Amino acid sequence: MTRHEDGTVQDALDAYWSARAVDYDAHQVRREGEARVREAWREVWERALPPGPCRVLDVGTGAGGVAHLLAELGHEVVGVDHAEGMLERARSRRPARGTPPTFLHADAVDPGLAAGSFDAVTARHVLWTLREPDRALAGWRRLLRPGGVVVAVDALWYPEGLRPVHEAASGPLDAPMLSTYSDRVLAELPLAQAAGVAEYAALLVRAGFVDVTTEPLTRLHDLDRELGVAPGHRLRQQHRIRGTVPAA
C-alpha cells in the first residue's frame, strides 16, 4: 500500500473540505462578483495557457471557481476533487457562457484519466494540501500532451505552522481547520510549510517539466490587500508556478 492509499489523513481532509464547501463557495462567489478580481484571475490563466480553446483538467477544483472561469473563456474543462461536498457546489454552478465543466470525483494523485488527453492542468491552492505532490505532478505530466502545461497557483501558506497564522488572522479561529490540519497532518503535506516558492518549482522539475517559472501575482496581492482575505487567512503573496511537458 502506498502512503496515499492509506486513507486516514485524506479522509480527514475530505471531511473538512466537504463541510467547508458552502462557506468556501459563498466567499468565492462574493469575491468573483468584483469585476476587477475576475479580470485579474482571467489574466492569471490566459497568460499561462496555450493559445486557443484547450482541454483543461482543473485538479482539486473545489467549488469549481477556476473550472467555471476557464469554461467561460471557451475551454473544455474537467474538474476533479476528492471531497463530495465541494463537487456538489461545483455542479450547482452554471458558467455565464461556454460549455459547463464536467466534474468528477477523483484523486489528484491519480485521477484515472487517459494519458496525453489534456493541453493543460490547472491547480489553484491545491499542491500545498497534497500528501504526495511529487506523485501528483508526475501523474499530471502523463495526462498532458507533449507541449502541454501545468499551471499552479499557490502561496507559502503556513511556514510557521497553522496556529500562529490563525491567531494573527482577523475573525474567529477556524477550529475545524486547526484540528484537521494538526501539526501531525501538516507534517504529512510536503508543501504546506514551504519556506520558498522554489520548493514548488523544484517538484515540477523533478516531475520532468521543463521551462519551469514562478511569478508573484502582484495584481492579486494588491486586490487581496484592498478587499481583505478569507476569514482565518493572512495576506499572502500568491505565485503562479508553470511548467511544460517536453515536446515529443
What is the contact surface with ligand SAM in residues (CB under 6 A)?
10, 13, 17, 28, 60-62, 65-66, 81-83, 86, 107-109, 124-126, 129-130
For 214, the grid coordinates are 514562478
Residue 244 gets which letter from DSSP?
E
Question: What is the rounded CA–CA span in Å between residue 70 and residue 58?
Answer: 9
| Nearest CA-CA partner of 114 in 124, 123, 104 | 104
Question: What is the rounded CA–CA span in Å between residue 78 and residue 101?
Answer: 5
Question: Radius of gyration over alpha carbons of the chain, in Å?
Answer: 17
For 150, the grid coordinates are 501545468
> Among positive and negative, which fits the CA dihedral 180, 241, 80, 38?
positive
Could you tell me the smallest distance in angstroms from the CB atom of residue 84 to ligand SAM? 9
Could you tell me the smallest distance in angstroms from the CB atom of residue 158 to ligand SAM? 12
**Are the CB atoms for 167 and 207 separated by under 8 Å?**
no
Compare residues 60 and 243 and give the one whose CB is closer to ligand SAM. Answer: 60
Compare residues 119 and 233 and give the one whose CB is closer to ligand SAM. Answer: 233
Question: What is the rounded CA–CA span in Å between residue 186 and residue 9?
Answer: 10
Could you tell me the smallest distance in angstroms from the CB atom of residue 218 to ligand SAM? 19
Could you tell me the smallest distance in angstroms from the CB atom of residue 217 to ligand SAM? 13
For 225, the grid coordinates are 490587500
Compare residues 74 and 112 and give the one whose CB is closer to ligand SAM. Answer: 112
In the complex, which residue's CB is closest to ligand SAM? 62
For 237, the grid coordinates are 503573496
| Nearest CA-CA partner of 85 in 16, 181, 8 | 16
Could you tell me the smallest distance in angstroms from the CB atom of residue 248 to ligand SAM? 28
Question: What is the rounded CA–CA span in Å between residue 72 and residue 38?
Answer: 11
Compare residues 11 and 183 and give the one whose CB is closer to ligand SAM. Answer: 11
Compare residues 66 and 156 and give the one whose CB is closer to ligand SAM. Answer: 66
Residue 58: beta bridge partners?
Answer: 79, 122
Could you tell me the smallest distance in angstroms from the CB atom of residue 54 to ligand SAM? 17
Compare residues 28 and 244 and give the one whose CB is closer to ligand SAM. Answer: 28
Could you tell me the smallest distance in angstroms from the CB atom of residue 246 to ligand SAM? 26
Compare residues 82 and 242 and give the one whose CB is closer to ligand SAM. Answer: 82
